[in-house]
Amino acid sequence: MPDIPVWNKCDNRCVMCANTSAFALNSRRHYFLKRQAVRLERHLRGAAAYSKNARVAGAWNLTGGEPTLNPDFLRTVAYFRRRLPGEPLTVLSNGRRFSDKAFAAAFAAAARPPFTLAVSLHGPAAAAHDAVAGVKGAFAQTLAGLKNIFGLPGAPFVEIRVILHKLNYRGLGATLKFIKRSFRGRPYRVVVMHYEQEGRGARNRARLAVPLSSTARAVNAAARSLAGFSEARLYHFPLCLLKPGLRRLAVISLPPEDRVYPRPCRACAARTACVGLMRPYFRACGAGELKALAGSGA
């Protein structure tokens, strides 16, 4: 289902943000509820209203920028929930606004299930997280926001995302341990993914670029820790780079237009279940890390 930009500004300056500079310069009026309603109604009538993931099955993703900064955010959440009853909705957020308990409670009241709040955590401590987020104090607010959401009855399901790049992939094990320790006994999903080389992520390539094979090794080394979560997923990782026991966690996390299946994939027994390579990654790095998997054990 579509990626729906709800706001184009953000209070973080994440080094790997996939948004372009042009996106942030758009007029705010494009994202207020009145415009959102017009676009959704067009989409529901079958018109071309959204540019990304428009015809892919799955959750409706309310994205940014930082969606919660939209003055119409709570009304927008309530509107989408009302117009899409029973459809899975996901808000992608840095989590900072939920450090306001009243705001978190109002969001939980509007975000009736099935609803997911996906929040990124960039490291196990303020120094690591804030260096990636680009804002001092972001870690404390994100952590407080998550704890507020977890403390609300009937709150949306939480997904904690760890986006790997050169600045943080070696700390994956410590980050996963921190998540387990901080949210013990709470229901949530952890998602580990390789960053996307788009927008600021592409402009900062010299600081961020790391081979998929390297981040996959970090994931493989954390296999026991990942197994300890009640629910875990891996995004953007080709199956051939993962230990056999982790391949069941990898999902096809990109729409067809963003995926590439180069020469090593053509004879792979696992191709139909694999995300392949991100198109910008393939253009920058090629396919030398991949190998075909054979047989039913793929």
Residue-wise pLDDT for 219-268, tens only, equals 999 999 999 999 999 999 999 999 999 999 999 999 888 999 999 999 99
On the 0-12 / 13-18 / 19+ scale of CB atoms within 10 A, 282 is middle
Both tokens of 213, joined, read 């094979």
Domain ranges of the chain: 3-235
Residues 68, 31: Cα–Cα separation, whole Å: 12
| Chain mean pLDDT for the chain | 95
- Calculate what percentage of the chain has a pLDDT beyond 90: 90
A 10 A CB-CB count for 167 gives 19
- Check pLDDT > 80 for residue 296: no
- Check pLDDT > 60 for residue 188: yes
Options 3.20.20.70, 2.60.40.420, 3.30.450.20, 3.40.50.300; which CATH number does 3-235 get? 3.20.20.70
Residue-level pLDDT at 53: 61
A 10 A CB-CB count for 145 gives 25
Q: What amino acid occupies position 174?
A: A
Backbone phi and psi for residue 150, each to the nearest 5 degrees, phi listed first: -60, -25
Q: What is the pTM of this model?
A: 0.95
Q: In the chain, which residue ranges form alpha helices assigned H by DSSP?
A: 21-24, 33-44, 73-83, 101-110, 126-133, 138-150, 172-182, 200-203, 205-208, 212-221, 223-227, 279-285
